[in-house]
Structures are given as C-alpha cells and as structure tokens.
C-alpha cells in the first residue's frame, strides 16, 4: 500500500516502475473474455481489456499486445469473436493465456466451441455472451494496439455467474436478476 512510483510531480511526472503500474491497473476489476479469430489464422487469446465503446454504431474494443500472436492474426482476419466467460471457466481463461498452448485449431481441441455464423471465429461454449465483430479501426496505444470492432452479431447465452479478474486473481461474481430501484 502507498507505493510511490511517480518521479517528479504534476503533468510531467513519469511513471517508470511497470510492476507498480501493473499492480495499480490490477485493482480495477474486469470481466474476462476469450478473443478469437477463425479461418486460416485461427487463434484465441484471453483478454480482460474488452470494453463497450458505442451503441450507435455498435462498437467494442480490445487492446492487444503488439508482441502477441493475436496481434498479427486479428489484423489479418479483419474480424473477431468475443466470448465473455462464466464463473466456472477459469481453466479456459488460463488455457488461452498460456503461451505454450498449441497453435492453430489444435488450441481449441480441449474446449467446446462453435463457429460464429458471420465471421467463423470460434465462440466458446458455456460463455455468458458471444459477440462477433468486424474490425472497424485500430489505433496505436504504446506497446498495445486498440482494436475497435463493429458488433455484427451478439448472443446472450446464459445468466450464469461471471468470471472476474482483480489483483491478478480470478474471482466469481454473482449475477443478481433482482431489479434495483
């Protein structure tokens, strides 16, 4: 607690300690997704940077490390799928974050999935929501690229509890259907 990582002060202060930065970013709780592309560049990657961006047009973004295989494959595919993982899918999240997993379609052999109807991107069975996106724009974001996708299909699969990532750990978040007033 109370770690100081800013050299100098004010707008020109520079954050230099990436471990401290990573830990600070990690205090922001997120859902967990698997971003996928299909066809000849089939690939999947666990991502918690998925964010809703716009309702009209319907846009969502994901930030991908420029060194990730997904960066090359998503750029080549021009479309992608997003599966928002359920609370019982931590093993799926760990699998698609494991850099030693097989490449190509072999990495999908140990999970159930179905191809997206519009993009062919593998969509993970048991996820709470599936999206298919066409790549709309991409923006440089330091060592990552911000891929903005136009949502072309969505399917709300279940009301199951969802997987959450916080402080470097997976947690389950109960989804209440009670309407708040």
Binding site for ligand FMN (CB under 6 A): 32, 45-49, 63-65, 68-70, 93, 97, 99, 165
Question: If you search the block for the tokens 């494959």, which residue do you land on?
Answer: 73
What's the rounded Cα separation, in Å, for the pair 50 and 86?
15
- For the CB of residue 8, give the shortest distance to ligand FMN in the complex, in Å: 29
DSSP 65: E
User: Which lies closer to ligand FMN via its Cβ, residue 61 or residue 119?
Assistant: 61
Torsional sign, CA 12, 18, 23, 25: positive
- For the CB of residue 138, give the shortest distance to ligand FMN in the complex, in Å: 13
Strands 33-37, 43-47: pairing kind: antiparallel
User: Which lies closer to ligand FMN via its Cβ, residue 33 or residue 119?
Assistant: 33
- For the CB of residue 143, give the shortest distance to ligand FMN in the complex, in Å: 9
Token pair recorded at residue 158: 């279940």
User: Which lies closer to ligand FMN via its Cβ, residue 13 or residue 102?
Assistant: 102
- For the CB of residue 50, give the shortest distance to ligand FMN in the complex, in Å: 7
User: Which lies closer to ligand FMN via its Cβ, residue 75 or residue 117?
Assistant: 75
What's the rounded Cα separation, in Å, for the pair 13 and 9?
5
Residue at shortest CB range from ligand FMN: 49
Give the CA-trace dihedral at 46, 49, 51, 57, to 10 degrees.
-80
User: Which lies closer to ligand FMN via its Cβ, residue 70 or residue 124?
Assistant: 70
């Amino acid at each position: 607690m109370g770690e100081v990582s800013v050299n100098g002060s004010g707008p020109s202060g520079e954050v230099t300690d990436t471990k401290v930065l990573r830990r600070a970013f990690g205090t922001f709780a997120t859902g967990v997704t698997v971003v996928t592309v299909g066809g000849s560049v089939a690939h999947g990657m666990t991502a918690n940077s998925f964010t809703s961006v716009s309702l009209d047009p319907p846009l969502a973004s994901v930030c991908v490390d420029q060194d990730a295989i997904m960066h090359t494959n998503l750029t080549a595919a021009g479309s992608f799928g997003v599966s928002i993982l359920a609370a019982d899918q931590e093993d799926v999240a760990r699998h698609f974050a494991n850099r030693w997993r097989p490449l190509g379609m072999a990495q999908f052999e140990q999970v159930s999935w179905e191809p997206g109807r519009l993009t062919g991107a593998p969509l993970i069975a048991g996820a709470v929501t599936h999206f298919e996106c066409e790549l709309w724009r991409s923006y440089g974001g330091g060592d990552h690229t911000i891929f903005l996708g136009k949502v072309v299909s969505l399917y709300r699969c279940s009301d199951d509890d969802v997987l959450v990532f916080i402080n470097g750990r997976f947690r389950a978040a109960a989804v209440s259907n009670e309407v708040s007033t």
